[in-house]
Structure 1
């Protein structure tokens, strides 16, 4: 069975975890209705929307089978040198892997989350946006 892939992108300072959780609950319902497992793809930022998605996945696995978390951390300091483009390359790689839907949580016009949402749009991945 092909998993239902949900790409979560969002601001590091996304202020409302309940919005992320509600969106992921809806995605889980879509996956379950289609009889497909759910894969939650995110950039592994230790705060903000990525962390809210990770927390949701941890709890969801306790109540639903077939929930998988797929983390894609950016390599910000290869060789100890700051690489400011690492997040944008990671975002593009996540989009290239494909998704059934992209959930974009954009706070204060976040460049990274906006970038990922634009790439997903271009790739034909439906994007659901929340902005603050």
Structure 2
């Protein structure tokens, strides 16, 4: 069996352009069609912004093929009911440590979380494609 191609999507909570996220994921998927590798869309499960846009793309693509899967990694913001402001940064590091073939970073207004994830991915040797708004 062929190992899946893992694309890590990171982005601002208020990323304004779903069409940019969808086009980037469509480009990745198109590049994989010849290889036959399945695609796993990894994201941080934020209920808004680029994470949601990537999840929506994966849901639609998954209606047409079984070779697209979604892998969501929500941050544990309130363990024991106490706000943990570093939860997102730990979740981002964990997603990068799981490995990816490419990271798509959608960064609005210098988003600290998305920039952090993209920087960690680059440091780990994962190619990063960045879009800014």
Asked if residue 9 in structure 1 is aligned to residue 10 in structure 2, the reply is yes
Alignment of structure 1 residues 28-107 onto 2, 5 Å: 28-107=29-108
Q: 1:33 offset after TM fit, Å?
A: 2.1
4+ aligned runs moved over 2 Å, structure 1: none
Provide the aligned length of Structure 1 versus Structure 2. 132
Q: Which runs of 5+ in 2 are unaligned?
A: none
Q: Distance in 1 between matches of 2:40 and 2:34?
A: 15
TM-score (norm 2): 0.97
- Per-residue CA distance 1:56-102 (angstroms, 9 max, x = gap): 00100112231000000000000000000000000000000000000
Q: Which runs of 5+ in 1 are unaligned?
A: none
Please give the root-mean-square deviation of Cα atoms over the aligned residues, in Å.
Answer: 0.6
Asked if residue 19 in structure 1 is aligned to residue 20 in structure 2, the reply is yes
Secondary structure class of the residue paired with 2:33: helix
Q: Distance in 1 between matches of 2:116 and 2:43?
A: 14
Q: 1:114 offset after TM fit, Å?
A: 0.1
Q: Distance in 2 between matches of 1:79 and 1:33?
A: 47
